């Protein structure tokens, strides 16, 4: 099964050709980071217009790099949500047009299923059967979720953020610290050599006892208090963003990692999965990777991390999810634009 994947849910215009849900023949990503940097975050109007301009070239590049033509493909896959409505519409409209003109089947893929599929991309990676049931931490700019993967396509949402996503917390903190967008890499760099125990920031444990959808508050995350705490600290100690930057950044990063590893530790202890995994842009963070390594070493469990190239948004993971048999991919593609424009709850598709 050779799939051309298209991803335009946020600020990356991406296309990729993937075989059998794991062999990446090409993965083209045109990042818009430089365009959004002056605003400290993604501007939807700029993102959508840039996708319109870039997508045809990115798709052609993906085909050329993979050395395949339309006749060599078995299916098209496109991110159908969640994401920015106008950005999603760009990819979905292009994919529908291509499906009509080529006669190829078009498979809609949930963006979060795509992130989960990134675990299986590459040469030396296991198959879903080898790692499931697995406990997966999905941490990106738009989502923070703890997902139980019983088998490929059988996912259960255990917990999620009740406000900001972990990546979003990094991005907002970077702005407060005068660092550039995206905040995650900027804070990780600024934190090098800093003391992670210099400031004790809160890790957002939830006290609520009931949340909708059977979600366990003990497996949830909250970053609004951490952000406020950083702001208050900077108001009281202006030098913390200057001479004290390394210590402040390291302490902030430590609080985010503590919150993520803490929830994962609790869930691993209680639910006893066969393995642990971590996907999404924040999975690039080396302090988080080290924390997860330590947790798995202690519990004697295998740890599977998305390859660095497929942590942040890409189309290879979308083609992979379709190739592995996304739950939605089984249905005929029939997403009307009005569905895409309706509010997408955080992590609604998992």
Instruction: Report the interface residues with Zn ion, using CB under 5 A.
Output: 140, 313
Contact with ligand KG4 (CB under 6 A): which of 82, 108, 128, 167?
A: 167
Task: By CB under 6 A, tell whether 142 contacts ligand KG4.
Answer: yes
List the beta bridge partners of residue 7: 14
Distance CA 228, CA 210 (A): 24
184 makes contact, choosing from ligand KG4, Zn ion, none, with CB < 5 to 8 Å by partner type, with ligand KG4
**Minimal distance in Å, beta carbon 190 to ligand KG4?**
11
Q: In the complex with ligand KG4, which residue's Cβ is closer, 104 or 250?
A: 250
284 makes contact, choosing from Zn ion, ligand KG4, none, with CB < 5 to 8 Å by partner type, with ligand KG4
Q: In the complex with ligand KG4, which residue's Cβ is closer, 181 or 219?
A: 181
Task: By CB under 6 A, tell whether 170 contacts ligand KG4.
Answer: yes
247 within 8 A of 195, measured Cβ to Cβ = yes
Q: In the complex with ligand KG4, which residue's Cβ is closer, 98 or 282?
A: 282
Contact with ligand KG4 (CB under 6 A): which of 76, 284, 310, 346?
A: 284
Q: In the complex with ligand KG4, which residue's Cβ is closer, 233 or 284?
A: 284
| DSSP, residue by residue, 149-176 | EEETTEEEEEEEBSSS-HHHHHHHHHHH
Binding-residue total with ligand KG4 (CB under 6 A): 20
Task: By CB under 6 A, tell whether 50 contacts ligand KG4.
Answer: no
In sequence order, which residues have a C-beta less than 8 Å from that of residue 82 and are 6 or more positions away?
9, 110, 111, 112, 142, 143, 344, 345, 346, 347, 348, 349
Query: Which residues within the stretch 198-227 sit at the binding site for ligand KG4 (CB under 6 A)?
Result: none
> Is the N-terminal amide bond of 182 cis, ω within 30° of 0?
yes
Query: Which residues within the stretch 174-203 sit at the binding site for ligand KG4 (CB under 6 A)?
Result: 182-185, 188
C-alpha 74: how far from its chain's center?
Answer: 26
167 makes contact, choosing from ligand KG4, Zn ion, none, with CB < 5 to 8 Å by partner type, with ligand KG4
Burial 279-317 (b: 16+ CB within 10 A, else e): bbbbbbbebbbebbeebbeeeebebbbbbeebbbbbbbb
In sequence order, which residues have a C-beta less than 8 Å from that of residue 111 and are 6 or more positions away?
7, 9, 79, 81, 82, 83, 313, 318, 349
Residues that bind ligand KG4 (CB under 6 A): 10, 140-142, 167-168, 170-171, 182-185, 188, 280-282, 284-285, 312-313
């Amino acid at each position: 099964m050779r799939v051309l994947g298209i991803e335009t849910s946020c600020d990356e215009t991406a296309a990729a050709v993937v075989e059998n849900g794991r062999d990446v023949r090409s993965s083209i990503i045109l990042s818009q980071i430089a365009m959004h940097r002056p605003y400290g975050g993604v501007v939807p109007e700029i993102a959508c217009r840039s996708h319109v301009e870039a997508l045809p070239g990115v798709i052609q590049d993906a085909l050329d790099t993979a050395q395949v033509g339309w006749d060599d493909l078995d299916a098209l896959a496109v991110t159908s949500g969640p994401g920015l409505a106008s950005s999603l519409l760009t990819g979905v409209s292009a994919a529908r047009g291509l499906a009509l003109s080529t006669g190829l089947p078009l498979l809609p893929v949930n963006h979060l299923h795509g992130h989960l599929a990134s675990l299986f991309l590459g040469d030396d990676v296991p198959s879903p059967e080898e790692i499931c049931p697995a406990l997966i931490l999905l941490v990106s700019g738009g989502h923070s979720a703890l997902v139980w993967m019983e088998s490929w396509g059988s996912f259960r949402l255990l917990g999620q953020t009740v406000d900001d996503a972990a990546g979003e917390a990094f991005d907002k903190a970077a702005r407060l610290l005068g660092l550039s967008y995206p905040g995650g890499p900027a804070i990780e760099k600024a934190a090098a050599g800093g003391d992670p125990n210099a400031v004790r920031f809160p890790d957002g444990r939830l006290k609520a006892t009931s949340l909708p959808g059977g979600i366990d508050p003990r497996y949830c995350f909250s970053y609004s208090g951490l952000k406020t705490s950083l702001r208050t600290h900077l108001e009281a100690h202006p030098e913390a963003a200057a001479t004290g930057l390394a210590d402040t950044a390291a302490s902030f990063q430590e609080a985010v990692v503590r919150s993520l590893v803490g929830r994962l530790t609790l869930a691993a202890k209680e639910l006893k999965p066969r393995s642990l995994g971590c996907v999404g842009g924040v999975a690039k963070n080396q302090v988080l990777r080290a924390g997860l390594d330590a947790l798995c070493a202690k519990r004697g469990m295998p740890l599977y991390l998305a390859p660095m190239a497929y942590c942040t948004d890409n189309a290879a993971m979308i083609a992979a999810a379709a190739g592995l048999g996304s739950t939605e991919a089984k249905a005929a593609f029939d997403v009307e634009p009005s569905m895409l424009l309706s509010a997408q709850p955080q992590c609604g598709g998992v």
